[in-house]
Amino acid sequence: MSKVLIVEDEGIIRSALRRLLERNGFQITEAGTVPEAREKLAEQPFDLIISDLRLPGEAGTELINQETPVLIMTSYASLRSAVDAMKQGAVDYIAKPFDHDEMLSAVNHILNQYRRQQLPTATLANEEATEKPIGLQGMLGESAAMQAVFQQIKKIAPFNTRVLILGESGTGKELVARALHNLSPRHKSPLISVNCAAIPETLIESELFGHEKGAFTGANTSRNGLVEAADGGSLFLDEIGELPLEAQARLLRVLQEGEIRRLGSVESRKVDIRLIAATHRNIKTLVDQGKFRLDLYYRLNVIELELPCLAEREDDILLIAESLLKACCERLNKPRARFSKSASNALLAYSWPGNVRELENRVERAVILADDTLIHAEDLELPQAIQQPKKANFATTASQQTAEALTLPTEESSDPAHLPSDDLSLEDYFVRFVQENEDQMSETELAKKLGISRKCLWERRQRLGIPRRKASTSR
């Protein structure tokens, strides 16, 4: 059981955090000031210190040392104070108001990182091997849809059969093609990937099948085509639906006879390739429109493998996002970041029309633009970024820093008379405090005592069904 020291001068915050962490298996010790915290630290070691930034007398950063990690809380949520705390050695910071899940995520993240730093290298390597996400050849997916795709790949890969991969743009069709090649007997030979939509129509035949010297203007030397370059290995034709009809006829001969003829040549050459094709378009519709050869379609479509879009893989979204986040931080040489609860909700709420490719771009943008190592929903800049909370917490922050915010009073709450009893939730405390004081205080004074804005107070009144009394309204 991990030991956590909470250093906070506001009684209601200490009480709320203690109950939250104890319910989740942590052993809690409390302190109200830095000197009191030092006394607790002298009595026993702790695995983590959670300290408010602004405390009576000395600041919470005075507790930072190299032995015990410190998580700083700040109700001021300013970038400068957070950055200063991190520079002094705090492992992370969390802004008030915060969400239950966000706090637990931060605590578990810090404790796991700290524990891993203490482990021997061999033990750490073994843990990383056992914690490797479920996936195949660089593709991640725990959803039933992707597990079915992985099983199909494993069955198909060993055989020299043609595969047609269908799926929206960004679903990972090239990764599937690479997996089919790497798991096949041809894995020691090259995999040649060609995007048929990226090559001009006038050059596509030359690029694929090669040409002889003088075959056309500008052909000053003979050149092998990409089909010939894939001899003995695999040829992946991405967006094959964009292939011109003339090139389709030549490709059909390759599949039927196993031979190619360069442009301008009278001789044919034998080639041994495994063809893997992919498209995001409906090939049958193209056939009906006369844009794709029916005989080529039947030659290609020995095995059809359809990839689900990301919106159909809700169980995989956070798994993929976490993996992309880790890789992006390493590639950009940025500190390891993590998603807040609001960011996780936003990732799950968005429809992802661009699929995994769009997710990768959003994550990279967030890593670059985020002010700290905690990625918030607004950092992702999604069109439908904020998802409404599914559960009622004590408050919802007006600044939308979190989707589900735990708003905690920041003034004059250390008086025992203000502390909620063990069976009184924070939401109950809010209701009781407003009802007991709204006759004596204006809305501005109520909001100030609760550490929130007037707008936030009004929103909570609406949500909790606490109408303003006439006496309070007239103030």
Same domain, 354 and 469: no
* H-only helix segments in 198-335: 204-209, 226-229, 245-257, 283-288, 294-300, 314-331
* Cα distance between residue 48 and residue 46, in whole Å: 6
Question: Which tens digit of pLDDT belongs to each residue from 362-403?
Answer: 999 999 988 778 888 888 888 854 343 333 333 333 333 333
Q: What is the CATH number of the domain that holds 284?
A: 3.40.50.300
Same domain, 212 and 199: yes
The half-sphere exposure of 381 on its side-chain side, counting CA atoms within 13 A, is: 12
The answer to whether 31 touches 6, Cβ cutoff 8 Å, is yes
* Cα distance between residue 309 and residue 354, in whole Å: 9
Picking from 460, 454, 446, 463, the residue whose alpha carbon sits closest to that of residue 409 is: 446
Same domain, 232 and 373: no
The answer to whether 450 touches 456, Cβ cutoff 8 Å, is no
Q: What is the CATH number of the domain that holds 118?
A: 3.40.50.2300
Same domain, 270 and 209: yes
Same domain, 213 and 170: yes
Question: Which tens digit of pLDDT belongs to each residue from 205-238?
Answer: 888 888 888 777 777 788 888 888 899 999 999 9
Q: What is the CATH number of the domain that holds 368?
A: 1.10.8.60
* Cα distance between residue 386 and residue 356, in whole Å: 20
Q: What angle do CA 21, 25, 26 make, to 5 degrees?
A: 55
Label residue 322 by pLDDT band (50, 70, 90).
very high
Question: Which tens digit of pLDDT belongs to each residue from 29-69?
Answer: 999 899 998 998 888 889 899 988 888 888 888 888 767 88
Same domain, 81 and 207: no
Structure-token pair, residue 348? 């799950």
Q: Give 381-428 as a 3 state SS string.
A: CCCCCCCCCCCCCCECCCCCCCCCEECCCCCCCCCHHHCCCCCCCHHH
In a domain, 250, yes or no: yes
Q: Which of 307, 339, 358 finishes a domain?
A: 307
In a domain, 39, yes or no: yes
Same domain, 401 and 378: no
Same domain, 280 and 333: no
Torsions phi, psi for 174 (to 5 deg): -70, -35
Same domain, 57 and 173: no
Q: What angle do CA 22, 28, 29 make, to 5 degrees?
A: 155
Same domain, 107 and 189: no
User: Domain count of the chain?
Assistant: 4
Same domain, 153 and 301: yes
In a domain, 137, yes or no: no
Residue 338 domain boundaries? 314-387
Picking from 232, 225, 242, the residue whose alpha carbon sits closest to that of residue 189 is: 232
Q: Which of 132, 164, 179 finishes a domain?
A: 132
More confident residue, 190 or 92: 190
Same domain, 115 and 154: no
Lowest-confidence region among 252-256, 333-337, 372-376, 406-410: 406-410
At position 388, the amino acid (one-letter code) is Q
* Cα distance between residue 277 and residue 279, in whole Å: 7
Q: Which of 359, 387, 415 finishes a domain?
A: 387
